[in-house]
Structure 1
Amino acid sequence: MTSLILAMMPILVLIWMMTKKNGVPSYIALPVTALFVAALQMFYFQTDLTLIWANVIAGSLSAITPISIIAGAILMNRMMCLSGAENTISRWLEGISRNKVAQLMIIGWAFAFMIEGASGFGTPAAIAAPILVGLGFPPLQVAMLALVMNSVPVSFGAVGTPTWFGLSNLGLTDSALLEIGQQTALIHFVAAFVIPVLALRFVASWTDIRRNYFFILLSTLSCTVPYFLFAQWNYEFPALVGGAIGLTISIGLAKLNVGLAKVAATDNDKTVSLSTISRGEIFKAMTPTILLITILIVTRIKQLGIKSMLTDATEAFSVSFGSFGDFSISQALIFKLSNILGTNVAWAYKALYVPALVPFLLVVLISIPLFKLKGSMVKQVFSETGSRIKMPFITLIGALIMVKLMMAGGENSPILIIGMAFSDLMGTNWQFAAAYLGALGAFFSGSATVSNLTFGGIQQTIATTVGLPETTILALQSVGAAMGNMVCINNIIAVSTILGISNKEGYIIKRTVIPMIIYGLIAAIMSTLI
């Protein structure tokens, strides 16, 4: 019992620090928690000090992967903003339909769905929410809509980072990871019949929703059908491609007024006429996004052969740093540090495959001459990106060190102890609570990826212990981490700040927690059918 209490203490302290009144910021709370776990490992669990330090080093280096993706996403976001491309896209999207439900679905659902697939990390709300407020929708209601809408695509956001990186510590085969992605997509697909409607209810009346329901359904399916189909053979870009296809179809349906109640034009109508924006302007503004999607698809389809080139592990250079470890670089620029401090702990970074240099940085470099950005603007793009990733970098280092240390120690690892206790408590009924644990992780960490990193090991241990399908339980973890975005403190603060909303975090959580609970119930029911 003492071991269980101490094993759970770091997680409980972390939750308390981040949810109490005047909560501790994640960039402080997570490193402090990591220090707490290290002390427990050293003084109570009697873990070898060398193994602790090896995991600290590996955890710190592992943060390079997600932070480089975040940096790439922010870099592109700032380039789009400063070049004027974002404004052009906003005006274009605003001018497609006067129907308010159509605007909410096109911008708040389909457009945000695509942006989540490309960049994630809060970018959808940062881009979509201000556009909706500019159309005259109330900021507080838009904030809640954006948080709830941005849940279905999250498991495959930022080119699948929550899936392929968030579950990377669990020793899964590629086929197992693909199966997890397939089940995750199926659960999200079913939940999507309900979630967009619940999100719309924050802004629109039930009468408006009923009158426009056929369009809502078609717009939803236009994203989720390709999303589900792509997930059957790839776990990196279902959200990206699903969102792109869904956005295109939703815009076409809105232009043809399919499934939409007729709206009379008024003098106060804020939509911008499409005639004011030429097709050439729209195409130019969308070029970076089109390039991003194209490069990602080309580099992720195995049959084209480029993926194997970017992941070629054939050693090109190696050097031994003695007791510190062995460092090597492959022909595809995979940087690897193995045998850290003489242990079996290792770290690797796929420089050309992780979507940071390719495609984010590459697309930004191509876009600079395309938009004729001045040197001062280019400098501003990079400086703003640098300033924005400082705190997330510290947060991720703390999170990944904590995760590495929680998993260290074999049979006596804190994660295994917690997993065994949960499995004894709930047994085979664990599948009904698994998604909520994932949501809890996203709630306090601010990231579906960090939630999967933190709780993936616990979920795996429980599944193995009680005899539940490992892939199904991890799919529930992934779904839970995505639905946790609705109540995630970091996301709520971010979207509130962008929209100029003050001191409404509690109000927002009380309302977004309801669709999150419903989401979890759908996930639990689906898990019994899979």
Structure 2
Amino acid sequence: MEIIIALIPFVCIFVFLFIFKQTSLRSGILSYIATLFIILVYPKYHIVFEEIIHASFKGFLISFIAAYVLFFGMLFFHLINNIGGIQTIADFISSATNDHLLQVILLVIGLSPLLESTSGFGIAFMITAPILIALGFPPIKAASIGLVSLLAVPWGALSTGTVIGAQIGNIDLKEMGIGTAIISIPIFIYFLIIAIYLAGGREAVKRRWKETLVVSIAFSLTMILFNIFVSVELAGVLSSLVSSGIGLLIIKMKGPSRFKSANKTIEETYTPIVTDKSVSIVKVMSPYLFLTISIFITRLVPAIKDFLESNFVIDLPAFSFSLALFYSPGFWLFITCLYTIFIFKISKNIIWNSLKTTVKQWVPFVISTTTFVAISQLMTASNMTFVIANAAGLTFGFFYLYISPFIGGIGGFLTGSSTGSNAMFIQLQVQTASKTGLPLNLVSSIQNASSAHATMACPSRVALAATLCKIESEENSLLKKMSLIVLGAILLIILMTTILMFVEGYTY
């Protein structure tokens, strides 16, 4: 009976999302209320009011780490988009080559990871899919490829999901980032192959398998290296820039650039408030480079790093919470927004519209993420997580290693957010790993990777894809397709996990 009661918060989230078709925001709030009800009514999990407040507020503090970064990441995106910067990038890709497969490679493992790594929130898809339609792809293909392009979600919004996971699970951020990158090696290759297959079938894969492998392996290896030697937060940005450069080099080696006009213009599919066709690609990319260099310096110059980590710090020992405001990527995204406003001389009207759009998208995320993290904290404080972990450990033992990816995947599938999934499940995963004697860092990396890569099949995200690409009648078909693709990714994670457990020298 105790295990059934302890599982109710997770069941509530599933029921509210899929049975009652509620949003993540409402599902989170209602599930939080259900969790409170259990804690107040069921004696085994009862905790005093002060502990409830403490756990809930700690949930807010942890979610604030992500919210701080995400707000300025989203604002940065809207500023760039509203001055026609995204259109400039799209035009550049279109003019670089008329080979659809090479365009897909550039978008899927270049532009999309760059946008996702700086902005998060699945914004990369909302840009990639319309660009694909503008380049001449049928809407169903554009939607599918656009969703698959969300392969850098573990490093989305400068790795906020991974940062939250490390914070909640009490895992070293660098080790978690490296572990996630290693586990994701076959996933990156798999997703790019899938994107090429969706674009042109088996013949396309045969025709471009060399380029696909070169770019995806380069993306994978640089992702690992940047996590190790630079920072987890910057790894996605830097890897996407490297893979974009390699993709453009391949295009140049294939022959001179060819210019092609698509059947539809970018404006027909995604219209910024103001379009400035005179904006150069170099100028558009300069804010991304400014952001990268700024964070790069703060991570690699010891004097600056020590100063930022020890000054302007929110420190609340009672909640085991600390946030260095100026060291956080959120602050440097804010500075990048100011830099963007200055160099593009953005008008007050565009700034105001960008702020309004950002707040409208940001507030629901903050509330829903806070409720998910608070539920996780309440379950831990009331011993529910311990009961579930203990039961899972006794039931599965070592084989929990093969259950863990499915738990993470379910979290990503349900919430459409690696942050939300980690908030819900990473404490459970870590505690179960502790009970079964499995490496904690490995299991936390499995949770992080599986939850992030499963977000592309989230029903709400698929529904958005169908609406954005005007294929509402094919939503169910798209959901089935994406679910099968994600299942393939989960199986690859299981395979990679098995290899890592038995490779000599790979220790956690």
Same fold (TM over 0.5): yes
Instruction: Return the offset for 1:300.
Output: 2.2
Q: What is residue 310 of structure 1 aligned with on the other side?
A: 308
Distance 2:347 2:149 in 1: 36
In structure 2, what is the equivalent of residue 197 of structure 1? 193
The code of the aligned residue for 2:16 comes to M
Cα displacement (A) at 1:207: 0.8
**Matching of residues 108-147 of structure 1 within 5 Å:** 108-147=108-147
Other structure's SS at 1:166 match: helix
8 Å Cα contact 2:233-2:329 kept in structure 1:
no
Aligned to 1:383: 356
Q: Which moved more, 1:135-144 or 1:486-495?
A: 486-495
Deviates most, 90-99 or 186-195 = 186-195
Q: Which residue of 2 aligns with 1:23?
A: 21
In the superposition, relative to structure 1, how do residues 269 and 24 fare at CA in structure 2: closer, same or farther (>3 Å)?
closer
Instruction: Say if 1:355 and 1:178 are closer, same or farther in 2 by CA, change over 3 A.
Output: closer
Equivalent residue for 1:455? 425
What's the TM-score once normalised by structure 1's chain length? Answer: 0.87
**Match in the other structure for 2:388:** 418
Distance 1:265 1:236 in 2: 36
> 2-side partners of 1:14 and 1:278: how far apart?
46
1:44-443 paired onto structure 2 within 5 Å: 44=42, 45-151=45-151, 153-172=152-171, 174=172, 177-233=173-229, 234-257=231-254, 281-301=280-300, 303-312=301-310, 332-339=311-318, 345-356=319-330, 358-409=331-382, 413-443=383-413
Matched residue of 2:228: which SS? coil
CA distance in 2, matches of 1:443, 1:206: 28
**Residue type of the alignment partner of 1:336:** D
Q: Distance in 1 between matches of 2:259 and 2:372?
A: 52
Q: Deviations over 1:328-358 (max 9, x none)?
A: xxxx22223343xxxxx344433212222x2
Aligned mates of 1:40, 1:193 — CA distance in 2 = 44
Q: Given the superposition, is the C-alpha separation of residues 268 and 442 from structure 1 closer, same or farther in structure 2, using an over 3 Å criterion?
A: closer
- Residues in 1 aligned to 2:406 and 2:106: alpha-carbon distance in whole angstroms: 29
For residues 237-257 of structure 1, what are the alpha-carbon distances to aligned partners after superposition, in whole Å with 9 as ceiling and x for unaligned?
Answer: 221111111111111211221
C-alpha contact (below 8 Å) 1:98/1:271 kept by paired residues: no
2:6 corresponds to which letter in structure 1? A
Q: Which residue of 1 aligns with 2:485?
A: 515
Moved over 4 A (4+): 262-272, 277-280
Distance 1:136 1:11, change over 3 A: same
> Given that residues 136 and 262 in structure 2 are in contact (C-alpha distance below 8 angstroms), is that contact kept between their aligned partners in structure 1?
no
TM superposition shift of 1:64: 2.1
Distance 1:63 1:93 in 2: 36
| Closer/same/farther in 2, CA of residues 521 and 265 from structure 1, 3 Å limit | same
Question: Do structure 1's residue 470 and structure 2's residue 440 form an aligned pair?
Answer: yes
3-state DSSP class of the match of 2:314? strand
More helix per residue = 2
**How has the CA–CA distance of structure 1 residues 109 and 101 changed in structure 2, closer, same or farther, with 3 Å as cutoff?**
same
**Is the 1:31–1:395 Cα contact (8 Å) retained in structure 2?**
yes
Deviation at 1:518, TM superposition (A): 1.6
Structure 1 residue 136 displacement after superposition: 0.9
1:489 to 441, 448, 459: 459
Contact 1:489 1:505 in 2 (8 A): no
SS in 2 for 1:433: helix
Counterpart Cα distance in 2 of 1:487 and 1:477: 16
Distance 1:214 1:30, change over 3 A: same
Distance (whole Å) between structure 2 residues aligned to residue 126 and residue 288 of structure 1: 20
| Post-superposition CA distance 1:430-480 (Å, at most 9, x none) | 111211111111111121112112111111111111111111111111111
Distance 1:267 1:73 in 2: 31
Is the 1:18–1:24 contact (alpha carbons within 8 Å) kept by the matching residues of 2?
yes
> How far has the Cα of 1:505 moved from its partner?
3.5
Q: Structure 1 residue 269: deviation in Å?
A: 7.7
Q: Distance in 2 between matches of 1:266 and 1:467?
A: 58
Partner Cα distance (2:389, 2:31) in 1: 19
- Residue 85 of structure 1 deviates from its aligned partner by 1.7
User: Contact 1:157–1:240 (CA<8 Å) still a contact in 2?
Assistant: no
Q: CA deviation at 1:418?
A: 1.0
Q: Deviations over 1:121-167 (max 9, x none)?
A: 2121122221111101122222222222312x222222222222223
**2: distance between equivalents of 1:512 and 1:19?**
17
Aligned residues: 488
Distance 1:416 1:95, change over 3 A: same
8 Å contact kept, 2:84–2:277: no
Greater mean alpha carbon deviation, residues 129-138 or residues 492-501: 492-501
Identity of aligned residues (%): 21
In structure 2, relative to structure 1, the CA distance for the partners of 1:267 and 1:394 (3 Å cut) is closer
Distance 1:265 1:180 in 2: 43
- Name the CA shift for 1:10/1:270 in 2 (closer, same or farther; >3 Å): closer
